[in-house]
């Protein structure tokens, strides 16, 4: 396969890790960040010490804070930007993206106030382009160290998904092409809300039984919501669904799980947010679901309780009691 020109937009841990993988596959990669001083430091040290300390960035990755230079000639642009900052961060790229460039979202969340998925926000800012979504059970810390993982590249146009798959796949990163982009995006967003709830279980020391039940019922909530949005139910029994949910709910790297654990131990949500250097997407997604009124309509009690703990000051123990005493029902 000939070298592809790839722009990676976002110098968080996930963007940095993916830029390294793609560059080592022999492609021409530019990694863009909006903080010029931070970008210069990464370029000098060949390490993103702020989010991936100890993981060296291949010399093949070119770094820039110039938006137009980042996407000049790009055939694929990978967007790895927190969903709540998506529109403002992408604004400098309006009119700069090459026609026909494939836009790939590796972002995870739903926009507060609109419930837009990342692909919808990107299209509204940058205009129509071929589009794909990449997600699955993967932490940047492990990808950057070359540990094996598997992802899904999804697009309504399966040929686009295959093109993205072939550019990103390596002996350590296996990708599967799929055409349920809506399902993959929703799975990526909502698993972070369930991970906060799983962390609450850990913080309250509720045990393995309770956490397994919560994760399983959380998957049911995600699936119900996604199917109502046009996704396929079977997507959620694969890597993008249960695979990513397990990783996020159980890994020590999971920021959302960590937020929940700290809530369960009695810390305040605002104090947790102030102490974090990276975004826990589940916080914004829980608010987006609540503000749109869908948590009640789609029968999403776990997501509703996560919002109540985060934004209404509800005692996590009270939330657990309320979930456990809901009216009994058939499976």
Question: Domains in the chain and their CATH numbers?
Answer: 5-179 (3.40.50.720), 182-324 (1.10.1040.10)
pLDDT for 276 equals: 83
Is this structure's pTM higher than 0.75? yes
User: What value does the mean pLDDT take over residues 176-196?
Assistant: 97
Rounded Cα distance between 274 and 291, Å, is 22
Instruction: Report pLDDT digits (tens) over 130-177.
Output: 999 999 999 999 999 999 999 999 999 999 999 999 999 999 999 999
CB 202 within 8 A of CB 241: no
pLDDT tens-digit series, residues 290-315? 998 876 666 899 999 999 999 999 99
Residues marked active site are found at: 191
Percent of the residues in the chain that have a pLDDT greater than 90, as a whole number: 91
pLDDT, mean of residues 20-26 = 96
| Composition of the chain by helix, strand, coil, percent to 5 | 55, 15, 35
Q: Looking at residue 299, what is its pLDDT?
A: 86
Measured distance between the N- and C-terminal CA atoms of the chain, rounded to whole angstroms: 49
**Tens-digit pLDDT profile for residues 269-293:** 999 988 987 778 999 999 999 998 8
Q: What is the per-residue pLDDT across 52-81, written as a single tens digit (0 to 9) for each?
A: 999 999 999 999 999 999 999 999 999 999
Model confidence band, residue 210 (pLDDT cutoffs 50, 70, 90): very high
pLDDT at 293: 86
Specify whether the CB–CB gap between 27 and 36 falls below 8 A.
no
> Which of 9, 17, 129, 144 minimizes the C-alpha distance to 81?
9
């Amino acid at each position: 396969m000939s070298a592809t020109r790839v722009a990676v937009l976002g110098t968080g841990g996930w963007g940095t890790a993916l830029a390294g993988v793609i560059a080592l596959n022999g492609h021409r990669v530019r990694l863009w960040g909006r903080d010029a001083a931070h970008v210069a430091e990464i370029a000098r040290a060949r390490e993103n010490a702020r989010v991936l300390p100890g993981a060296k960035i291949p010399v093949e990755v070119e770094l820039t804070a110039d938006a137009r230079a980042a996407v000049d000639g790009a055939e694929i642009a990978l967007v790895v930007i927190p969903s709540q900052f998506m529109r403002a961060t992408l604004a400098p790229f309006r009119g700069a993206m090459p026609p026909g460039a494939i836009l790939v979202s590796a972002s995870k969340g739903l926009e507060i106030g609109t419930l837009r998925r990342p692909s919808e926000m990107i299209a509204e800012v940058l205009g129509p382009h071929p589009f794909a979504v990449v997600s699955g059970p993967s932490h940047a810390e492990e990808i950057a160290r070359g540990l094996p993982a598997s992802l899904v590249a999804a697009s309504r146009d399966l040929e686009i998904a295959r093109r993205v798959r072939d550019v990103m796949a390596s002996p350590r990163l296996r990708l599967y092409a799929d055409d349920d982009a809506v399902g993959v995006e929703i799975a990526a967003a909502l698993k972070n809300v369930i991970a906060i709830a799983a962390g609450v279980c850990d913080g309250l020391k509720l045990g393995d039984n309770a956490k397994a039940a919560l994760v399983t019922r959380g998957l049911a909530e995600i699936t119900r919501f996604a199917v109502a949005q046009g996704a396929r139910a079977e997507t959620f029994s694969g890597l993008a669904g249960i695979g990513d949910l397990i990783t996020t709910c159980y890994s020590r790297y999971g920021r959302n799980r960590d937020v929940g654990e700290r809530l369960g131990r009695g810390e305040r949500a605002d104090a947790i947010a102030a102490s974090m250097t990276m975004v826990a997407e589940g916080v914004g997604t829980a608010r987006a679901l609540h503000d749109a009124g869908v948590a009640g309509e789609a029968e999403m009690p776990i997501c509703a309780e996560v919002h109540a703990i985060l934004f209404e000051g509800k005692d996590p123990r009270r939330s657990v009691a309320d979930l456990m005493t809901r009216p009994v029902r058939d499976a």
